[in-house]
A and B are shown apart, each in its own frame.
Chain A
């Protein structure tokens, strides 16, 4: 399943595509919600490895506008809950992710992104 936590860790890896290759933009997505166990420590610790603005924009693309545009200094429980929902419970099952730089399209079907490249695209 392409959850937003995973999406935030994916960049276009076509040969030569090294600038503006993150974040990939969701296109024509189908979304499914699945309840997941809330672990506030995990969410808090994970934030240091994520890109806030990319997350906020990805959330908008899948129809969730609950996150503030700037990362707040203080993470209260309410915000951690929201983050948990956005990162862990929204699953993109079908659609695509598109690179802003080279326009490469990475299809998603049955919850799995296909990011295999053809031989000539490999760096």
Chain B
């Protein structure tokens, strides 16, 4: 059992500004715990969590691999989230390196084919496009859930960069809702980028049916780029 990170340092005020870890967060932790042995064998050097929020998931990843054996990069558009991510790292004795930016932003060119573990628990709630765009530009707590059409507008933008970011043996874990149309995400990633995928865990939580999808290159596609 890997203990859930200590979040007792986050105040009520913090959690009004930053996503409070919920069922989706915990499902991602469970998926990572289930995959822990296989992931450790790959000796990941660079981990990147997009949309790290409280920092709970990256701190958990740090507990799986250990502080000194990987770099834990985290991004979020919400500056309160990157502040909390840094604090959650400290509280759990895992140094997290947060950057306030959208998606992989300033990291994407230097991290070409270099990310060993990529994580995204995106804003996945279906809303109209305007609501998602205004949440993105205000970069506040509404950006935690407002996902636009099919809840996929923000996720789709990251999906375009995933193949480019993943190292030859890298893995990408994505949180999704059943309404996000998981089979279509999977077939698109295979057709457009040659990434194979598998649902590693799924769970109903109240009205939401949540899944974690793991993407990786096929054994033979190597580090071939499609760009």
- Taking a contact as CB atoms under 8 Å apart, the answer to whether A114 and B68 are in contact is no
- Within the complex, the shortest CB–CB distance from B141 to chain A, in Å, comes to 16
CA distance A65 to B109 in the complex (A): 27
A76 proximal to B (CB < 8 A): no
Task: Tally inter-chain residue pairs, CB-CB below 8 A.
Answer: 85
- Taking a contact as CB atoms under 8 Å apart, the answer to whether A39 and B107 are in contact is no
- Within the complex, the shortest CB–CB distance from B225 to chain A, in Å, comes to 16
Chain A residues whose CB sits within 8 angstroms of the CB of B67 once the complex forms: 36-37
Mark contacts of B46-78 with chain A using CB atoms, 8 A cut-off: 1 yes-contact digit, 0 otherwise: 100000000000000000000111110100010
- Taking a contact as CB atoms under 8 Å apart, the answer to whether A5 and B71 are in contact is yes
Can you name the residue of chain A whose Cβ is closest to the Cβ of B167?
Answer: A49
Q: Is the interface of A mostly helix, strand, loop or mixed?
A: loop
B121 proximal to A (CB < 8 A): no
B105 proximal to A (CB < 8 A): yes
Q: A6-B97, A114-B100 are in contact. Are A13 and B105 (CB under 8 A)?
A: yes
- Taking a contact as CB atoms under 8 Å apart, the answer to whether A42 and B86 are in contact is no
Chain B residues whose CB sits within 8 angstroms of the CB of A117 once the complex forms: 101-102, 105
CA distance A57 to B67 in the complex (A): 26
- Taking a contact as CB atoms under 8 Å apart, the answer to whether A112 and B95 are in contact is no
Mark contacts of B86-106 with chain A using CB atoms, 8 A cut-off: 1 yes-contact digit, 0 otherwise: 100000000101111110011
A115 proximal to B (CB < 8 A): yes
- Taking a contact as CB atoms under 8 Å apart, the answer to whether A114 and B106 are in contact is no
A116 proximal to B (CB < 8 A): yes
Question: Which of B79, B99, B106: most chain A Cβ within 10 A?
Answer: B106
- Taking a contact as CB atoms under 8 Å apart, the answer to whether A38 and B68 are in contact is yes
Chain B residues whose CB sits within 8 angstroms of the CB of A75 once the complex forms: none
Besides A21-B109, A49-B114, A111-B86, 20 new A-B residue pairs in contact (Cβ under 8 A), listed by A number: A1-B86, A1-B95, A5-B71, A6-B71, A9-B110, A10-B99, A10-B110, A12-B106, A13-B101, A13-B105, A36-B95, A37-B68, A39-B68, A42-B68, A49-B45, A49-B46, A112-B82, A112-B99, A113-B100, A114-B79
Chain A residues within CB distance 8 Å of chain B: 1-3, 5-6, 8-13, 21-22, 36-39, 41-42, 45-46, 49, 106, 110-117, 119, 122
